[in-house]
């Protein structure tokens, strides 16, 4: 018996839509990472992109537990001396809510070139409107 390995031409990709309003950020990110990688499919192959496209709407209304809005910080550095900048999660949700979700999902993905390709299939929007009606996305089932 040979081991099955998915080929790029025989992968059936679907489009899913997820409403992030009221969903916990960490639990949402783990579920999205599983779907983007294709680990929920029987033909999952670790070295091939078998994942689906995911549309996240209402990213600005994602919830977090505890006092993470004030204590969790996002850092970036310009590369110059004294160039370290930081923002709290609350500030990031007000200014760039899509980047909060993208950063959380990216942290759940493996650190390789394939994950960058898989992450490009993630479409995030701060409001309920999205331009992907033509792809006929289905609602992703959510178990809590």
Structure tokens at 30: 């783990």
pLDDT of residue 144: 59
Q: pTM for this structure? A: 0.92
The Cα–Cα gap between 54 and 90 comes to: 24
pLDDT of residue 77: 97
**What is the DSSP track for 96-117?**
-HHHHHHHHHHHHS-SSHHHHH
- 53-57 vs 15-19, strand pairing mode: parallel
The Cα–Cα gap between 23 and 99 comes to: 16
**Residue 3 — pLDDT band, cuts 50, 70, 90?**
confident
pLDDT digits (tens, 9 = 90+) for 37-91: 999 999 999 999 999 999 999 999 999 999 999 999 999 999 999 999 999 999 9
CATH class of 13-64+96-139: alpha beta
The Cα–Cα gap between 48 and 13 comes to: 13
């Amino acid at each position: 018996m040979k081991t099955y390995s998915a080929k790029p031409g025989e992968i059936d990709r679907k489009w899913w839509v997820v409403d992030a309003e009221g969903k916990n950020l960490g639990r949402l990110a783990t579920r999205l990472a599983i779907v983007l990688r294709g680990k929920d499919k029987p033909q999952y192959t670790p070295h091939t992109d078998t994942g689906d496209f995911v549309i996240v709407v209402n990213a600005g209304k994602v919830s977090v537990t505890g006092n993470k809005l004030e204590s969790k910080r996002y850092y970036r550095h310009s590369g110059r001396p004294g160039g370290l900048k930081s923002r709290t999660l609350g500030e990031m949700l007000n200014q760039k809510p899509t980047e909060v979700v993208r950063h959380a999902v990216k942290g759940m993905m493996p650190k390789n070139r394939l994950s960058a390709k898989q992450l490009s299939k993630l479409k995030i929007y701060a409001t309920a409107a999205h331009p992907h009606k033509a792809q006929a996305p289905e609602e992703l089932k959510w178990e809590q």
